[in-house]
Structures are given as C-alpha cells and as structure tokens.
Amino acid sequence: MILAGMLRHRVTVQTPVATIDSVGRRSTSLVRGGTIAANVEAIAANESTYADGVALRTSYQIRVRAASAAKHGLDASSVLEYGDRTLQVVGVVREREESDVLIITATEVA
C-alpha cells in the first residue's frame, strides 16, 4: 500500500491510437487521457554526443496506484506528461505481488 502523501506529483497519461485516413495510410497519434497521482524520481542521467551536440537522457522511476493506472489505460505503450517533460514508458511492473502499487520506468523524450 502506498500512502496518499507520497503521491505528491501529477502525471497525465497519453495513449497511442492508430487511425487510417481515406487513402489507407495508417498514422498514430497520442490521445490525452486522465491525470493521476504519482511519485516521480529521477534515477539516472546520461550524456552522449548527438549531431554535433550533447544529448541528455534522463530515466525516471514512477510509482502509481494500480487501480488509477488501469482506469486511465496506462501500459508499456503509453507516454506520460510530467510538468513540461514528456516521458516514454519503458516498463511497468507490480511492486510486490500483493501490492496495489505499480512501478513505471520511463525515459525523457527529447
């Protein structure tokens, strides 16, 4: 169980939806879903050279209640908005088998 006071951040779930236009081309767009309470922690940051510059890649660990995540369709294909950051979900695991907490690993999309 996770205490409500630990969920001090808010993330908005975006789910990819595939559509087919009149010509038959398939495109994917993100549909903005609900906002859920979370605990967001930056766990790692890496710098690498990219196109004559430096790219920073930050990884996050996000804890949410499993019921809230299921209600808003959060899964491994989701994208999260956290403030002015866009986070791509990399993995979703349950904290413990009897726990109602999901641990989400995400990386910042540059």
pTM for this predicted structure: 0.79
Task: Identify the pLDDT of residue 57.
Answer: 81
Q: What pLDDT sits at residue 29?
A: 86
Distance CA 107, CA 110 (A): 9
In this prediction, residue 3 carries a pLDDT of 67
First-residue to last-residue Cα distance in the chain: 33
Q: Are 61 and 79 in contact (CB under 8 A)?
A: no
User: What pLDDT does residue 62 have?
Assistant: 94
Q: Which residues contact 92 (CB under 8 A, 6 or more apart)?
A: 69, 74, 75, 76, 102, 103, 104, 105
pLDDT in tens, 78-97: 999 999 999 999 999 888 77
Domains, the chain, in order of start with CATH, read 4-108 (2.40.10.270)
Mean pLDDT by 10 residues, the chain (110 residues): 78 90 86 92 81 79 91 90 92 82 87
Whole-number pLDDT of residue 96: 78
